[in-house]
Copies of this chain bind each other. A is one copy, B any other.
Amino acid sequence: MVQVDTLPPLIRSEAQKTHLLIRDFIKRTPILTCTTLSALASTPQSAEALARTEWIGRDPARPKINLFFKCENLQTIGAFKLRGATSFLQRLGDEELAKGVVTHSSGNHAAALALAAKRRGAPAYIVMPRISMPNKIAATRSHGAEIVFSGSTAPEREAVAAEVMARTGATMVPPYDHPYIILGQGTLALEVEEQVGLMLDAGSGGKLDAVVAPLGGGGMLSGIATALSGTGIRVFGAEPSFQGGDDGRRGLAADPPERVTEVKTLTIADGLRTPVGVYPWSVISDREKVGGVFAVTEGQILAAMRLVLERMKVVIEPSSAVPLAVVLFNEDFRRRVEQEGGEQGWNICVVFSGGNTTVEAIGKLFAKEENEDER
Contacts and interface: CB of A to CB of B under 8 A. Distances in A.
A241 B367 CA distance: 30
B315 A309 contact: yes
Q: Which of A310, A316, A355, A362 has the most CB of B within 10 A?
A: A310
| Interface range for A | 20 to 34
Given A363-B366, A364-B363, A367-B363, A357 B315 contact: no
Interface string A349-375: 000000101111011111100000000
Contact of A359 (B355, B358, B362): B362
Contacts of A358: 306, 310
A359 B314 contact: no
Contacts of A363: 359-360, 362-364, 366-367
Interface of A is mostly: helix
Nearest to A34: B74
Contacts of A364: 363
Given A314-B314, A315-B315, A306 B73 contact: no
A293 to B, nearest CB: 27
A58 interface: no
A167 interface: no
Contacts of A314: 313-315
A357 B310 contact: yes
A366 B355 contact: no
A309 B78 contact: no
Contacts of A310: 135, 315, 357-359
Contacts of A316: 313
Contacts of A74: 313
